[in-house]
Amino acid sequence: MLSNRKDHSVSPEKPLLYSFRRCPYAIRARLAIRMSGVEVQIHEVSLRNKPQAMLDRSPKGTVPVLVLPDGRVIDQSLDIMCWALAQQPVSPCLTPGGNIPADAQVLIQQNDSTFKQDLDRYKYAERFPEHSATTYRERAEVFLDALDCRLQQHSYLTGAKLSIADLAIAPFVRQCALVDAEWFYATRYKHLITWLDAILQSALFVAVMEKVATSSAT
């Protein structure tokens, strides 16, 4: 969400990104920022001790949060992605109007709703004893299967080139794979595995996953 509230304590030189290295929402924001070439200050947040400055700028208290040099605040990951990618003279990931293409929008919405819910229950099954981890994983597989079917047709989720859908969804598929890597890499989702590994091994992904010292930024 883009707020018109001004914060005059922000450096006029670079946008400030509050982030957490392993958070999939923060990862996709950093991917888009890195791809766009925009330089930002990254402040790694301790989720157990969130900086008051971040909470003042975004009371929701979750990362990522981007504070622009003019003081405006963007605190939704997709909005940060769109802002960053729109800084390119011609963005290959957005429509001419600066929006997410319709096919990518549908995939991202599915990822952020039902798949994310199933993923959380699979990852933290002990918190949701109504069903087993296997049951939650099977529910998540509906989306994994759909992605794999797409990737049988082309190298990326919406075509032959990397898109905003790939950047937005890969961090969540990565999180799913990490719950039980042995299971994931033994599945029938061979095209999905190839796609994920290519992204995780790319210079772009490696760069955004570099460790940054946790900061108590003001």
The three-class DSSP label of residue 180 is coil
pTM higher than 0.85:
yes
Contacts (Cβ under 8 Å, ≥6 apart) of 24: 171, 172, 174, 175
DSSP secondary structure code for residue 163 in this structure: -
Residues 71-99: what's their mean pLDDT?
95
> For residue 110, how far is the Cα from the chain centroid?
14
What is the Cα Rg of the chain in Å?
18
Per cent of the chain over pLDDT 90 is 90
Is the pLDDT at 141 greater than 80? The verdict is yes
Q: Are 173 and 147 contacting, i.e. CB atoms less than 8 angstroms apart?
A: yes
Is the pLDDT at 72 greater than 50? The verdict is yes
CA quadruple 73, 78, 80, 83: dihedral positive or negative?
A: negative
The CA angle 107-174-76, to the nearest 5 degrees, is: 55
The reported pLDDT for the residue numbered 215 is: 59
Q: One-letter amino acid identity for 69? A: P
CA 30 – CA 27 distance, rounded (Å): 5
Is the pLDDT at 11 greater than 50? The verdict is no
Between these two residues, 8 and 159, which has the higher pLDDT value? 159
* Structural domains in the chain plus CATH codes: 2-92+204-208 (3.40.30.10), 102-202 (1.20.1050.10)
Q: Are 200 and 174 contacting, i.e. CB atoms less than 8 angstroms apart?
A: yes
